[in-house]
Amino acid sequence: MQPSASSPDHLPAAAPASRGSVAEVFWIFLRLGLTSFGGPVAHLGYFRETFVERRRWLSDRAYADLVALCQFLPGPASSQVGMALGLKRAGFAGMLAAWVAFTLPSALALAAFGFGIHALGDLGDAGWLTGLKVAAVAVVAHAVLGMARSLTPDAPRASIAVAALAIALLVPTAWAQVAAIVLAGVIGLVWLRPAVPEAADASGGQGHPFRVRVPMPVAAGSLILFAVLLIGLPVIARLTGSDALQLADVFYRAGALVFGGGHVVLPLLQAELVPTGIVSNDAFLAGYGAAQAVPGPLFTFAAYLGTVSTTSATGAVGAAIALGAVFLPATLLVIGTLPLWQALAGHRLARRALSGVNAGVVGILAAALYQPVFTTGITSALTLVIGAAAFVALSAWKAPAWAVVIAAGLLGLLVL
């Protein structure tokens, strides 16, 4: 018997989206880079609101496929999702435009703070910052609810999501999250019913799975370059004694080996830079607070650290080296793994596993909604009221996420 049109496997796909321009990608991601507060999980919520709900560049299922891939990869997951979306829309130039636009606002702000360190003072209790954290709660809750409706519509997938949530909350490590996604895929392969064959997707590639054009030689070359730099940079830096190469090595390894995003890479960088004297402990701690107050990816903290470096590679040069090195592994891995991911996603058994993986992603994001997004954003009855109003504005009034963020920040400035 054929599944009905209302069955979970026949969820509406996004409308076909024509190839866009590099300028279009740049300006959309620049606005996101200026307003996406709240950390990597919140960024995924902003992306979903922008590209799945409003612009319909891809379906929820394709978006979840992409998020699942980036959760498997080391580096900044939200930035990797953004790069892949830019690549899908406008090719490699679009990928670069997405990264530059999303990264530039926070990188420039943190580099400027590095030049005028301590100028902003203690940001921890700023009302406007609290308001932005509250807005992030609403954005993530809206994204998780929307993804749950389409990706966990039945008891088996809802159960997988809850299991992933439990693992993520009870074993709060990046490796536990990866294990939860793997387990969700195995359960999906064994338990879930077969997914609709690829031929049933008539959305021109905008349904599922996520598809981009990456030539295999380019993908293979990217993975080879990733490995060569990971092995070769420390050797060359040691042989040459170059401060610039030493700085590049530290940040490249951080971007290449860290799972879990910005919240994980910050303590790792502290362990690499402070004991060696590349950055003083006081300077590191001062910048740590500033990094929480800017939009965009937390990996842009690298720009600040490069600016305040005590080596000869410091200031604007240090910022450029550190920023490029920490994001380069993520870029190479996205380019290198997308063709393999797409090839797997086209197989019937892989679709069953990916159905489980997508349910697991919902659980992982729901866990992150609680910790750290909710626990750091909702700290009083008043913040709960503001958060509820922001959620209603997003879900019922269909207000754009950037407007909700700005409104919450202004409200926080006035009343918090």
| Residue 105 pLDDT exceeds 70 | yes
The end-to-end CA distance of the chain, in Å, is 58
Give dist(CA 315, CA 156) in Å, integer.
Answer: 54
Task: Confirm if 369 and 137 have CB atoms less than 8 A apart.
Answer: yes
DSSP-derived 3-state class of residue 146: helix
* Residue whose C-alpha is closest to residue 57's, from 84, 82, 81, 88: 88
Output the pLDDT for position 280.
83
Task: Check residue 372 and report its DSSP letter.
Answer: I
Q: How many C-beta atoms lie closer than 10 Å to residue 123's C-beta?
A: 14
Least confident of 181-195, 312-326, 343-357: 343-357
For the cut 50, the answer to whether the pLDDT of residue 202 exceeds it is: no
Report the distance separating Cα 254 and Cα 209, nearest Å. Answer: 30
Angle 153-398-406 (CA atoms, 0-180°, nearest 5)?
120
Average pLDDT over residues 142-150: 84
Res 404 pLDDT > 90: no
What is the C-alpha to C-alpha distance for residues 355 and 206, in angstroms, rounded to an integer? 17
Burial category of 340 from C-beta neighbours within 10 Å (exposed 0-12, middle 13-18, buried 19 and up): middle
Mean pLDDT of 269-274: 82
Give the best-scoring range by mean pLDDT among 94-103, 231-240, 399-408: 94-103
If one compares 23 and 131, the residue with the highest pLDDT of the two is 23
What is the number of H-type helices and E-type strands within the chain? 17, 0
d(CA 110, CA 234): 26
Could you tell me which residues come within 8 angstroms of residue 378 by beta carbon, excluding any fewer than 6 positions away?
134, 137, 384, 387
pLDDT band, residue 2 (cuts 50/70/90): very low
User: How confident is the model over 120-148, as a mean pLDDT?
Assistant: 77
- Max CA-CA distance within the chain? 70
Predicted local distance difference test score (pLDDT) of residue 292: 67
Least confident of 109-118, 310-319, 331-340: 109-118
What pLDDT, on the 0 to 100 scale, is given for residue 205? 41
Mean pLDDT score of the chain, rounded to an integer? 83
Average pLDDT over residues 152-170: 92
The pLDDT score that the predictor gives to residue 28 is: 96
DSSP string, 327-351: HHHHHHHHHHHHHHHHHHHTSHHHH
When pLDDT is averaged across residues 230-236 and rounded to a whole number, the result is 93
- 242 φ, ψ (degrees, to nearest 5): -75, 125
pLDDT at 295 (0 to 100): 87
pLDDT for 136 beyond 70: yes
Mean pLDDT computed over 365-390: 88
Q: What percent of the chain has pLDDT over 90?
A: 40
The 10s digit of each residue's pLDDT in 252-261 is 998 988 765 6
CB 205 within 8 A of CB 89: no
Identify whether the C-beta of residue 25 lies closer than 8 Å to the C-beta of residue 90.
yes
